[in-house]
Amino acid sequence: MLNVSDIPKKFEPGSVEARWYAYWEQNGFFHSTPDDREPFTVLIPPPNVTGVLHMGHMLNNTLQDVLVRRARMLGKNACWVPGTDHASIATEAKVVQKLRKDGIKKGDLTRDEFLKHAWAWTDTHGGIILKQLRTLGASCDWERTRFTMEPDLYDAVIDCFIELYERGHIYRGVRMINWDPEAKTALSDEEVLFKEVRAKMVHIRYACTDGSGDVVIATQRPETIMADVAVAIHPDNPKTAHLKGKTVRIPLINREIPIIEDDYVDPEFGTGALKVTPAHDRNDYEIGKRHNLEVIDILNADGSLNETAQILVGLDRFKARTEIVKLLEDGGFIAGVEEYTTNISVSERTDAVVEPRLSLQWFLDTKELSKPALEAVMSDEIRFHPPKFKNTYRHWMENIQDWCISRQLWWGQRIPAWFYGEGEQEYVICRTAEEALDKARAKSGNEKLTSADIRQEDDVLDTWFSSWLWPISVFDGFKDKDNADIRYYYPTNDLVTAPEIMFFWVARMVMAGYAFRGGVPFKNVYYTGIVRDKQRRKMSKSLGNSPDPLDLIAQYGADGTRAGMLFSSPAGNDLLFDEALVEQGRNFANKIWNAFRFITMQMEVGKTYTPTLDFDESNLADRWMRSRIMRTLKEVNQHFEDYRISDALQSLYSLVWDDFCDWYIEINKPDVNVERALGIFEVLMKMLHPMMPFITEDIWQRIRERSTSEALMISAWPELREDWISDDAEARLVLQKELISALRNVRAGKNLSPVAPLAIGLSVESDAQTTELERDLWIFRKLQKTSDLRIGTSLEKPKGSVSVVVRNVELMVSLDGLIDTEAEKTRINGEIQRLEGFLKSVQSKLLNSGFVDRAPADVVANERQKLADASQNIEKLRSILADLS
RNA sequence: GGGACGUUAGCUCAGUUGGUUAGAGCGCCACGUUGACAUCGUGGAGGUCGAUAGUUCGAGUCUAUUACGUCCCACCA
């Protein structure tokens, strides 16, 4: 089965990845059903249904796959549920855009017609991203793929709405909300972003009606003066005291408005007078409420001026802004214009400048729901990785506002409210029109109501109002609150997501968890960073600085790409993506490949080899190798425990490359014990599998014939053998390594061939040490060619030799004529100087009675040992120096 | 305006409860084709831990102040 000629010099990922993925999937390894094992559940943060894979997804899903694959190997029943989100605003915007291209206006379509287009769009572009995830190696349970707009999940949202309404958490009311004039819908506070811009502050004169002069008011929104209903001053401001009780005239339209007094006004700011425009400013709305002022709305839904404005009607708000400044200038109303920097709010989805707008919307009252959700995180019932995000979470939860959940869109779950009677003021909440009719009749006492009198609310629900149910709805926990799946898989284990959606999604899922299942929806949240480029710019389509993930996989292999992403992504840290990382990942895969290739080259054709971990107790290299493996396994386990995935990979990288390839194989060359090497390989492949699934499965299957049930993907994670960890073996091998490195260093310094045989002397302290060292010296001999190797306590130093002190061994290299005495002296003097500096610091510690008295005994003993060692080595170096002259 | 976090080798980051003159990976420099691998090997050069002041026998590791940076939240016209 194993034939060297089959094994190319380079690892070729393309040919094996698709094959193994199909193998895993066809054998049902991804699929999970409840059984006696401990469940391990991960839910994919559902990407937008029509989205394509970007670097953020790559990082996020690689991490999920690593966690899931490892849990599976740990014997847990791992279930990774994939799926997509209907992304209400984003998708509707895309469909509208597409229709526009085809010459169709959304307004000309009925709701049903539009939805047909939307479904067509979803069917055409939907689910691509899930296919792409397979390329990455994601071990999702595809049979469980869900979509937030599929019937069951749609129903879940409706059930949820009805239940929350009945429990009194949902209300309908007129509030100042964020209006997106582009998408023509309300937004939640979370969907609004702040953007810093340069803007003009216009100072406008309002004339007092009594002819006593002007009031100058500063505003960055001069186009809203037609909606002004008052001018406010602070009651205690002497500067504006003379204005009390007066009225002023709005420029251009000459409407008279009163001057009112309100504490909100900052006397220090600007002129101390503020125009009050309740319809178009949150604060002004509050002031207006306090003073019982009228609300004059001069804007249309699309942000253009309406009839009420009287002037500039029909003009867009931004056009109107420049136009009105001209008019004001012409009329002599401008007192000045200054540029300044300010924050404007924009829609997260459409980038349109958000308009504060008074409107009738549906809200979720979050006061009660947020309480247990806050507690769950603060008490670490849900653990955040890294924990610093607890602060952000707490801050938000403590200041949580009611959630505006209605959207003036069609693509989404339609609110199950049914209006009857005049003016849509009366409604019932229920699932169907029939039910609504009964309820409406009962509620109104009007038995004559017919289905024609009943009309369903047009609005749909915020996308996140479906996503927040994801952990429950993917297991049909609304349809059947006690079904086998949700009993078994819920609460889920790990959630991997970006901190940007902590409020949108994480916090709300926790609230939903408590609201509907009385507990947490997951136990750990791993926050990834943002994927940025080398200049720390966020990767984005518009900047064009993002590589196509699929290109990366094609070029470097899925394993290489995954490893590359994992190399540099501690939890919560941004990933500064550099193709060099992926290159490193590919190189690592290649290194593994070639180590394996080397082993196969040692095999005889036709012979059967049984991988074994039966190490040779008498062989230091073996004892060392198995110690390194187990020590690393212990580290890796701990790293996983701590969600330090990068560190886990780093440990494995070093185990494979440094310990196994650079030392174990090198020491054993040319006749490596194949069965043992294969045994080692099996352990290594297991440990690496969660991170690099393809190459590890491929090698695993090449090591020997395996039945389906023996596939690496479903094999058991290695068992930790603490008894294999040996400080003694590791210390002894380190000494050999250091002796070898020291000699290599001498060779390099003297420009000697790495393979020229040299006469070596090793001078040690005692006969016992001679015996000890001699026992392990075969390793030194294996890796360094010697013409003569002597070891002893009183070795005579050959003429013209160079000496290096390694720990407490003096390594003497006979160089016969090649030695540059002066250079040697300089080197040794430098070494002495370094040691003396060290010695001094140790001495001063030990001379300090405070240290000796108060430091723990072992620390003091350690210092004394250091003192002794350093002094001894200095002595040695001095004698070497003396010999040189 | 409030808050969180960060500042350690050229770059990206580790440094657990304060105790070896600070570590890793990548990069860099030099040498190298000893038949697994040049997607490689060997060797090497690089930091005194943002600054200041404290606590302590001892501080990158604790405290305070300060500078700079990143992010989150926030209705100042």
pLDDT of A791 reads: 94
Nucleotides of B under 7 A from a protein CB: 2-6, 11-14, 19-21, 24-27, 30-32, 34, 36-44, 56-58, 71-77
Predicted confidence (pLDDT) at residue A749 exceeds the cutoff of 90 = no
pLDDT of A830 reads: 85
pLDDT of A855 reads: 86
Whole-number Å distance between alpha carbons of A844 and A846: 5
Predicted confidence (pLDDT) at residue A5 exceeds the cutoff of 60 = no
**Could you tell me the pLDDT band of residue A813, with boundaries at 50, 70 and 90?**
very high
Short-list A585, A563, A717, CA closest to A645: A563
CA triple A321-A322-A324, angle to 5 deg: 70
Mean pLDDT of the region A459-477: 97
**Could you tell me the pLDDT band of residue A822, with boundaries at 50, 70 and 90?**
confident
My answer on whether omega of the bond before A570 falls inside 30° of 0, hence cis, is: no
Closest residue by C-alpha to C1' distance, nucleotide B6:
A573
Chain centre distance of CA A372: 25
pLDDT digit string, tens, across residues A659-717: 999 999 999 988 899 999 999 999 999 999 999 999 999 999 999 999 999 999 999 99
| pTM passes above 0.90 | yes
Mean pLDDT of the region A297-322: 95
HEC readout, A688-735 = HCCCCHHHHHHHHHHHCCCCHHHCHHHCCCCCCCHHHCCHHHHHHHHH
pLDDT digit string, tens, across residues A257-287: 999 999 999 888 888 899 999 999 999 999 9
Number of Cβ within a 10 Å radius of residue A581? 21
- Spatial distance from the CA of A414 to the C1' of B64 (Å): 57
Please report which residue ranges of A234-364 form alpha helices under DSSP H: 282-290, 317-330
- Spatial distance from the CA of A258 to the C1' of B76 (Å): 22
Predicted confidence (pLDDT) at residue A195 exceeds the cutoff of 90 = no
- Spatial distance from the CA of A168 to the C1' of B12 (Å): 51
| Nucleotide whose C1' lies closest to the alpha carbon of residue A870 | B20
Mean pLDDT of the region A839-856: 86
- Spatial distance from the CA of A535 to the C1' of B75 (Å): 35
Q: Quick check: A258 and A275 in contact, CB under 8 A?
A: no
pLDDT of A1 reads: 45
pLDDT of A424 reads: 80
Predicted confidence (pLDDT) at residue A819 exceeds the cutoff of 80 = no
| Nucleotide whose C1' lies closest to the alpha carbon of residue A274 | B77
pLDDT over 90 percentage in chain A: 77
| Nucleotide whose C1' lies closest to the alpha carbon of residue A503 | B72
- Spatial distance from the CA of A465 to the C1' of B40 (Å): 55
The whole-chain average pLDDT of chain A stands at 93
- Of the listed ranges A420-429, A572-581, A750-759, A819-828, the least confidently predicted one is A819-828
Predicted confidence (pLDDT) at residue A2 exceeds the cutoff of 70 = no
- Spatial distance from the CA of A855 to the C1' of B59 (Å): 15
Beta-bridged to residue A256, according to DSSP, are: A249
Predicted confidence (pLDDT) at residue A794 exceeds the cutoff of 90 = no
| Nucleotide whose C1' lies closest to the alpha carbon of residue A283 | B75
Q: Quick check: A225 and A284 in contact, CB under 8 A?
A: no
Of residues A544 and A633, the one with the higher pLDDT is A633
- Spatial distance from the CA of A283 to the C1' of B71 (Å): 27
- DSSP notation for A831-875: HHHHHHHHHHHHHHHHH-HHHHHHS-HHHHHHHHHHHHHHHHHHH
Closest residue by C-alpha to C1' distance, nucleotide B36:
A598
Mean pLDDT of the region A167-186: 95
ipTM summary value: 0.96
- Of the listed ranges A75-89, A175-189, A798-812, the least confidently predicted one is A798-812
Tokens of A224: 């809203």
pLDDT digit string, tens, across residues A24-75: 999 999 999 999 999 999 999 999 999 999 999 999 999 999 999 999 999 9
**Could you tell me the pLDDT band of residue A360, with boundaries at 50, 70 and 90?**
very high
Whole-number Å distance between alpha carbons of A413 and A156: 10
- Spatial distance from the CA of A584 to the C1' of B43 (Å): 22
pLDDT of A343 reads: 86
pLDDT digit string, tens, across residues A314-352: 999 999 999 999 999 999 999 999 888 888 899 988 889
| Nucleotide whose C1' lies closest to the alpha carbon of residue A534 | B11
User: If 0-12 CB within 10 Å is exposed, 13-18 middle and 19+ buried, where does residue A61 land?
Assistant: buried
